[in-house]
Amino acid sequence: MTNIAVIPARGGSKRIPRKNIKTFHGKPLISYSIEAAMKSECFDRIIVSTDDEEIAEISIKFGAEVPFFRSNDLSNDFAGTTPVIQDTILQLDDNNIEYICCIYATAPMLSYEDIRSGLNSITSEKDCNYAFSITTYDFPVQRSLLLNQQNKVAMHNPNLFNSRSQDLEECWHDAGQFYWGTKDAWEKGLPIFSSNAIGLKLPRHRVQDIDTLEDWHMAEMLYQIWSKD
């Protein structure tokens, strides 16, 4: 049986043009995900799913495979992760695949040790469909605010107005780095966020969404600090 990594990387990023191959601390952003996958030694194949020839060339240069180009239907702004993984399974037509790890191309602080931990978790836990990275919110979500068109505020939970932050339950969110899943779970489109999934805890300083230029600059600063550890 084999394990594969799938790195989705379409070419049409709008808010940060050419985001997946934009230079990040001297290298294309996607190269960090490819290198972490290679260093983890968890995979028989590391595949980049893309619609873009330049992304394909760079991915191959850094050690990944691009055995096919994905269709236009899976390359628009609304294409979800699960359909991309399902398409990869269909294109490869390999009955020996057991586990598939979806790794985002925008995760420069992804650690190969975390990828290994994900594989250990999903293989050791009974009835586990997925294992993925999570981290805590930096402020109690129970005290979040609503803002109307006049910039007037209201609390989501007014009854918690007098609650101390330390008395509120800690909340977690998807770290947006990687998602181990069984081939069967991906094929069936089973929900990733469920009681059949394991969350792998990461510190906040190693997690940063990269959707805007502000996010990008924050990620550069965090990476500079993290890479010195």
Q: Where exactly are the structural domains of the chain?
A: 2-226
Q: CA torsion sign, 148 to 153 to 156 to 159?
A: negative
pLDDT of 163 > 90? The answer is no
Residue position matching structure tokens 């510190």: 203
CA distance 223 to 202: 15
pTM tops 0.75: yes
pLDDT of 229 > 70? The answer is no
Under CATH, which architecture does the 2-226 domain have? Alpha-Beta Complex (3.90)
CA distance 117 to 109: 15
> How many helices and strands in the chain, by DSSP H and E?
6, 10
As given in the structure block, the two tokens for residue 37 are: 């996958």
Beta bridge partners of 5: 46, 101
Task: Give the mean model confidence (pLDDT) for residues 183-187.
Answer: 97
CA distance 52 to 78: 17
If we measure between CA atoms, which residue out of 79, 112, 113, 84 comes closest to residue 100?
84
Report how far apart, in Å, the C-alpha atoms of 113 and of each of 64, 102, 109, 139, 154 are: 19, 16, 11, 27, 42
User: Tens of pLDDT along 125-157?
Assistant: 888 999 999 999 988 898 899 999 889 999 988
| Residues 6+ positions from 164 with CB-CB distance below 8 Å | none
Q: Are 129 and 196 in contact (CB under 8 A)?
A: yes
Position 40 scores a pLDDT of 98
Q: CA torsion sign, 186 to 189 to 191 to 195?
A: negative
Is beta strand 172-182 parallel, antiparallel or unpaired with respect to 97-103?
Answer: antiparallel
User: Tens of pLDDT along 94-122?
Assistant: 999 999 999 999 999 999 999 999 999 99
CA terminus-to-terminus distance, the chain? 36
CA distance 151 to 36: 43
How confident is the prediction for the chain on average, in pLDDT? 93
As given in the structure block, the two tokens for residue 87 are: 């398409």
